[in-house]
Amino acid sequence: MRLRAGPVLGALLAAALLAAIGLATRWGWTAGEDPRALVRLTWKIRGERVEECREPTEEELAERPPHMRRERVCEGRVVPYALSVEIDGRTAVTDIVHGAGAREDRPIAVHREIPVTPGEHAVRIRFEALGGESPDALSLERTLRLGPREVAVVTWDPDRRSLVARTP
Amino acid sequence: MSGLSEALAETAWGVLRRADAAMNRLYGWRYNPLYQSGALTLVLLAVVTVTGLYLLIFYRIGEPYESVARITDQAWAGRWIRSLHRYASDAAVVAIAVHAFRMFAQRRSWGARTLAWVSGVVLLGIVLVLGWTGYVMVWDVQAHALAVEGARLLDALPIFSEPLVRTFAAGEPPSGQFFFLNLFLHIAVPIGLGLALWIHVSRLARPVLVPPRRLWVAVVGALVAVSVLWPISMAAQADPLRLPREIPIDLFYSFWLPAARALPAWATWAIGAAATAILLAVPLWARPARQRRGAASSVDERLCTGCVQCSLDCPYEAIEMLERSDGRAELVARVEPARCTSCGICAGSCAPMGVGPPERTGRDQLRRIREGLGSEEGPAAGEVVVVACGRGLGAGIESIDGAPVHRVSCAGTVHTSVVEHLLRADARGVLVLACPPRDCWNREGPRWTEQRLFHDREAELHDRVEKRRVRFAFIAGGDLRTARVELGAFRTALASLERGEPLAGVDAVRECDPAEPKEVIRS
C-alpha cells in the first residue's frame, strides 16, 4: 500500500509540534549568573508598643452609641526599630523600620537581602527599639561560611527568643 | 490607529489563509486542527481535569514534593498520567493562542462578538492562574521561583502589611496551610473556568464543543504517546537556602519569570497591565472603520410569514419571533441589533426574501445577478458560474479556469433563487464553493446552504430546478488547486449529463438521501 504524502507529512508535523511542546515545558532558564552568596534577614516581631491614653470629651462620647462609650481612649503604635548590619566590619545596612500598616500599629516585618562574596564573613546584626518603656534589642554576631549561590537566613526563633542564622 | 489595526488584521488573515490551506492538504478540512481550536481546547482541559483527579488522590499537602515524587516514581500510571496532565495543559495554551489568533484574523472579535472576546481573555487568565497554582503544588525549584517572584510582584502593591515573600524565604518550607490554600485555588478556580466558558458561548446558537471524534482521539492519543515516550521527571526540590543557577521552567506558564527577575516590580506590572489592556481592548481597536461595519439585518414585516426559519438559522440567536398585532400570521420576526453580526445568513433562509442586512437581502442578490447578466462582465450562456465566499476562496478572484466567480459575503447568504435564476439565464451549471464548515466566519453558513440546495431546508431550491446542474463543495480560502479539481469534475459531469450518458460524478447521496450526508459518494 502506497503511503500518501499528506498523512505522512501531517504525522511528522504533529510529532514536531509535540517535540516543541516537550522542549518548551522543560526549558532551561539561567536564573542567576551571579555567583555571589546571599545573607537574607527575614523576621517578624510584635515590637514594643507605646500607647497614648486620654479621656474622651463629652462631644465624642455623645457621638458614639451607648455600648461603645469608653472611659479612656488609647491609641497605640509600634515604636520604630533601628536595623544595622555590619559585614566584615563594614556597614551593609542602616535603616529605620516602622510598624506595618497605615497607623504603624501592626507587627514589624523585616526582609532584606545582602549579596556577599562566597567565603567566610563576620556578620553583626543589631535590631533595636527606638523609644518605649523597656527598649527591646535583638542582636546576632556570627561568622558565616557560604559557598557560591548559597543563602544564610537570619530569622527570629520564637523558642530561643533570639535571632538565629540558618545556613545550607 | 484604524489603519494600523486594519493592516494587522489583513496580515494575520493572510498568514491564517496560508496555514489553513497547508493544513487542509495535510489533514483534510474535516480534521484540520486549526478549524477546531476552540473545541480542542475544551478536550484538552477535560484531559487535564481527568488526569488531575487521579493526581489529587496521591497528593499530600504536608509533603508536596515527596508526594509528587512518589507519583512520578510510579511506573506505568503515575508518571504517565502526570506527564499527560502537563502536556495537555501546555497544548491547551497552544490551542487557545491559535483560537484567539483565528478570531482576530477573521475579524470575529468586535461588535456582537465583544462578549466572547473579552470572556476569552478572562478564560486565558484563569488558565494561566491554574497553571501557576498547579506548578506551585510540586514545590520544586520552578515552583519556588514562581512563588517568590509572584510574591515580590504582589508586595509592590499597597495591599499587604508585611512582605508576602517572607513566606517562601525564611529557610523552611511554607506551612501546610499555604499548600492547602494553593490546592483549594487549583480546584476551585476551574469553577470560574466553567462560568467564564458559559459566558464565552452564551451568544452562540448550537456552539460546537467537541471536535470530530477522529481528531480528538488522535490528539489525545498523541499526547498519551509523548507522555509514555518522554515522561516528565522531577526537578530539584525547592530550597530557600540555595539560589539555583539553572531552573527548568515551562515556557507556557512561566514565560514571565525571566522578565520579572530582571525588571523592577513596577515595570513587570506595567508590561502585564499593558498587554492585558491591549488584549481586552481588541474589540475597540480592531473593529473596522464605521463605513465598513455591516449594518444589522432588518425584517420587512409585510413580507414576513412567521415561518421561524430565520430565527432557527441565525448562528447568534439574534432573531426572535414575536406575536403580531395586525391580525396576520401568528408570529413576526424581529432582529436584535446588538446581537446581529450582519452575517446575512437570514437572507438565505427567507423564501419571501423579507429579511437580511441592507443591500444583501434575497431581492438585492437577485437584482445584482440580473444587473450582472445584462452587462458585458456577466456570465455568458453555457458557462459554469462559480458562487464563492468572499472571505474564503472568492477573495480577490474573478474567475477560475474561465468560469466567472460571483462573490458573496458568505456562502450562507446565498438565496436559492439566485441559483435558479442563473440556470434560467442559461448558465451551464452553478458551483457553490463554501468555506469548510468549521472555518465559516459566520459559523453555520455552508451547512445551511448545502441543506437549502439539496435537502429541502427553507428556503429550498425548487424541484423544478435541475439539481444535477448544481454542485456544492467545501473549499478553504487560498486552496485554488482543489477548487480547479472540483470545477473540472463538475464540468466532466455536466458533459456526461449533456450527452445523456449514465450519471457520472453525481452526488448520489445528495440526490437520494434526504438526511444530512456524512460522506460525499461519487458514483
Least confident of A10-24, B124-138, B317-331, B409-423: B317-331
For residue B376, is pLDDT > 60? no
Q: How far apart are CA B48 and CA B54, in angstroms?
A: 10
| Nearest-CB residue to B243 (from A17, A106, A151) | A151
Q: Which residue has the cell 488531575?
A: B52
User: pTM for the complete prediction?
Assistant: 0.88
Nearest-CA distance from B186 to chain A in Å? 19
B334: Cβ–Cβ under 8 A, 6 or more apart, which residues? B299, B319, B320, B321, B322
For residue B519, is pLDDT > 80? no
Residues 166-205 in B contacting A (C-alpha not used; CB under 8 Å): 166, 169-171
Beta-carbon neighbour count of residue B312 at 10 Å? Answer: 17
Closest CA to B399 of B492, B475, B490, B484: B484
Handedness of CA B337, B338, B343, B347 (dihedral sign): negative
Cell numbers linked to B354? 423579507
Nearest-CA distance from A116 to chain B in Å? 13
Asked whether the beta carbons of residue B248 and residue A29 sit closer than 8 angstroms, the reply is yes
Closest CA to B445 of B404, B397, B391: B391
Q: How far apart are CA A93 and CA A115, in angstroms?
A: 12
Q: How far apart are CA B65 and CA B80, in angstroms?
A: 17
Scanning every residue of chain B, which has its alpha carbon at the shortest distance from the alpha carbon of A105?
Answer: B161
- pLDDT the model gives residue A52: 82
* B93–chain A Cβ distance below 8 A for any pair: no
Distances (CA, A) of A168 to A149, A153, B324: 10, 9, 82
The B429-434 sheet, strands edge to edge: B399-400, B403-408, B384-389, B429-434, B470-474
Q: Which residue has the cell 494575520?
A: B12
Tens digit of pLDDT for each residue in B28-68?
Answer: 889 999 999 999 999 999 999 999 999 999 999 999 999 99
List the single best residue of B26, B47, B138 to mutate versus A (max A Cβ within 10 A).
Answer: B26
* B97–chain A Cβ distance below 8 A for any pair: no
List the single best residue of B44, B96, B242, B479 to mutate versus A (max A Cβ within 10 A).
Answer: B242
* B250–chain A Cβ distance below 8 A for any pair: yes
The kind and range of the H/E element at B303 are none
| Nearest-CB residue to A149 (from B163, B165, B243) | B243
* B240–chain A Cβ distance below 8 A for any pair: yes
Contact B467, B427 (CB under 8 A): no
Cell numbers linked to A104? 504603624
Strands (E), B415-468: 429-434
Scanning every residue of chain A, which has its alpha carbon at the shortest distance from the alpha carbon of B92?
Answer: A21
The kind and range of the H/E element at B86 are helix B77-105
A22 CB neighbours in chain B (<8 A) are 87, 226, 230
Nearest-CA distance from B30 to chain A in Å? 13
Beta-carbon neighbour count of residue A132 at 10 Å? Answer: 15
* A167–chain B Cβ distance below 8 A for any pair: yes
**B394 or B280, which is more confident:** B280
Q: How far apart are CA B78 and CA B85, in angstroms?
A: 10
Asked whether the beta carbons of residue A31 and residue B261 sit closer than 8 angstroms, the reply is yes
Residues 201-230 in B contacting A (C-alpha not used; CB under 8 Å): 218, 222-223, 225-226, 230
Asked whether the beta carbons of residue B248 and residue A44 sit closer than 8 angstroms, the reply is no
Tens digit of pLDDT for each residue in B108-143?
Answer: 999 999 999 999 999 999 999 999 999 999 999 999
A62: Cβ–Cβ under 8 A, 6 or more apart, which residues? none
B258 CB neighbours in chain A (<8 A) are 29
List the single best residue of B85, B245, B256 to mutate versus A (max A Cβ within 10 A).
Answer: B245
- ipTM reported for the complex, 2 dp: 0.86
Count the helices and strands in chain B (H runs, E runs): 19, 10
| Nearest-CB residue to B245 (from A14, A31, A42) | A31
Asked whether the beta carbons of residue A28 and residue B226 sit closer than 8 angstroms, the reply is no
Cell numbers linked to A21? 511542546
Residues in chain B: 523
Nearest-CA distance from A58 to chain B in Å? 35
Tens digit of pLDDT for each residue in B304-362?
Answer: 999 999 999 999 999 999 998 877 768 999 999 999 999 999 999 999 999 999 999 99
For residue B393, is pLDDT > 70? yes
**pLDDT class of B375 with cuts at 50, 70, 90:** low
Strand partners for B408? B389
Tens digit of pLDDT for each residue in A81-138?
Answer: 999 999 999 999 999 999 888 888 889 999 999 999 999 999 999 999 887 666 668 8
Scanning every residue of chain A, which has its alpha carbon at the shortest distance from the alpha carbon of B168?
Answer: A42
Asked whether the beta carbons of residue A22 and residue B244 sit closer than 8 angstroms, the reply is no
Cell numbers linked to B75? 511506573
Asked whether the beta carbons of residue A30 and residue B240 sit closer than 8 angstroms, the reply is no
A46: Cβ–Cβ under 8 A, 6 or more apart, which residues? A78, A107, A108
Phi, psi of B358 (to 5 degrees): -55, 135
Scanning every residue of chain A, which has its alpha carbon at the shortest distance from the alpha carbon of B86?
Answer: A25
Q: Which residue has the cell 445584482?
A: B368
Closest CA to B412 of B486, B522, B507, B316: B316
Asked whether the beta carbons of residue A107 and residue B162 sit closer than 8 angstroms, the reply is yes
**pLDDT class of B511 with cuts at 50, 70, 90:** very low
List the single best residue of A29, A33, A159 to mutate versus B (max B Cβ within 10 A).
Answer: A29
